[in-house]
Amino acid sequence: MILAPAKQKPVRATPVDDLHRARLLRFVQKGQNGSDCWKWTGAKKRHGYGRIRINFIEYTASRLSWAVHNGRDPGSLDVCHSCDNTECCNPKHLFLGTHKENMEDAVYRGRKMGFRAVGAPDNKGEKNPMAKLTQAKADQIRKLYRAGGVSYGDLARRFGIGLSAVGKIVKGERWAADEKQREEYREDNWTAKPLV
Ligand SMILES: [Zn+2]
């Protein structure tokens, strides 16, 4: 990815492999649909993030999930949740952002404070900023993101929408013209790659 690294925050001290995947999945409860959140049944850390220890190394569950499903270390970037559910380990709900973007997103959507931040919009139904978008704009967002060099945060600011909205568009969960396009974006952005 494209974002300038901040401070180093390695997900692992040893290579993440099939053992990590197996151990992680043991504590994951998947829903009926592929789009459901993956509930974490193991230990938790602050703010509800799952916690798991493998070979004496402690990992944040969602962060480890991103790593094992994408086959690489998120490095200095935060693994952010498009679903606002910090325990969730569904890789479809996880995306990379800078720590600053993650915090801004959390406050904006009222996750961090437990209520909506002052001035943040009520995003339900008609008031949802997604409603302000057009198909053309959504296509532009996907195009820009694919071209590289921009983060979810850049696009969120530019189009005046939240990070999770950007994520849903990029992954084709929103504003896909048809099922074929939805599938294409899903494949493109969510493919379990072989582990390195
Ligand atoms: Zn989720």
CA of 13 to the centre of ligand 1 (A): 26
pTM of the prediction?
0.55
| 5 close to 77: Cβ distance less than 8 angstroms | yes
Residues 6+ apart with CB under 8 A from 42: 27, 50, 51, 52, 61
- Please report where in the chains the tokens 């180093």 appear, as a residue: 8
Question: How many Å lie between the centroid of ligand 1 and the Cα of residue 159?
Answer: 24
* Cα 39 to averaged position of ligand 1 atoms, centre (Å): 8
For residue 27, CA distances in Å to 42, 52, 169 come to: 5, 9, 29
Span from the CA of 34 to the centroid of ligand 1 (angstroms): 10
- Say which range, 10-14, 44-48, 84-88, has the weakest mean pLDDT: 10-14
- At residue 8, the pLDDT reads 43
pLDDT, mean of residues 45-52:
90
- Alpha-carbon separation of residue 22 from 28, 79, 86, 122 (angstroms): 10, 20, 21, 40
Q: Is residue 110 very low, low, confident or very high in pLDDT (cuts 50, 70, 90)?
A: low
Residue 26, CA distances (Å) to 32, 61, 168 in order = 17, 11, 27
Q: In the predicted model, is pLDDT for residue 165 greater than 50?
A: yes
Q: CA 58 to CA 13: how far, in whole Å?
A: 10
Rounded to the nearest angstrom, the distance between the alpha carbon of 96 and the centre of ligand 1 is 14
pLDDT in tens, 53-89: 988 888 999 999 998 888 878 888 888 888 889 999 9
Query: For the residues 125-153, what does the mean pLDDT come to?
Result: 73
**What is the CA(87)–ligand 1 centre distance, in A?**
8
pLDDT surpasses 50 at 196: no
Res 25: pLDDT: 95
Higher pLDDT, 117 or 168: 168
CA of 103 to the centre of ligand 1 (A): 17
Please indicate whether residue 108 or residue 21 has the higher confidence score (pLDDT): 21
Specify the pLDDT at position 43. Answer: 95
CA of 181 to the centre of ligand 1 (A): 22
Residue with tokens 């993440």: 16
**98 or 106, higher pLDDT:** 98
Tell me how many degrees the CA angle 73-185-154 measures, rounded to the nearest 5. Answer: 60
Distance 83 CA to ligand 1 centre (A): 5
Report the pLDDT value the prediction gives residue 108, as an integer from 0 to 100: 63
* Residue spans per domain, the chain: 18-189
pLDDT value at 6 more than 50 = no
pLDDT score at 2:
34
106 pLDDT band, cuts 50/70/90, is low
Instruction: List, in sequence order, the alpha helices (H) in 55-98.
Output: 61-70
Instruction: Look at residue 12 in the predicted model and tell me its pLDDT.
Output: 45
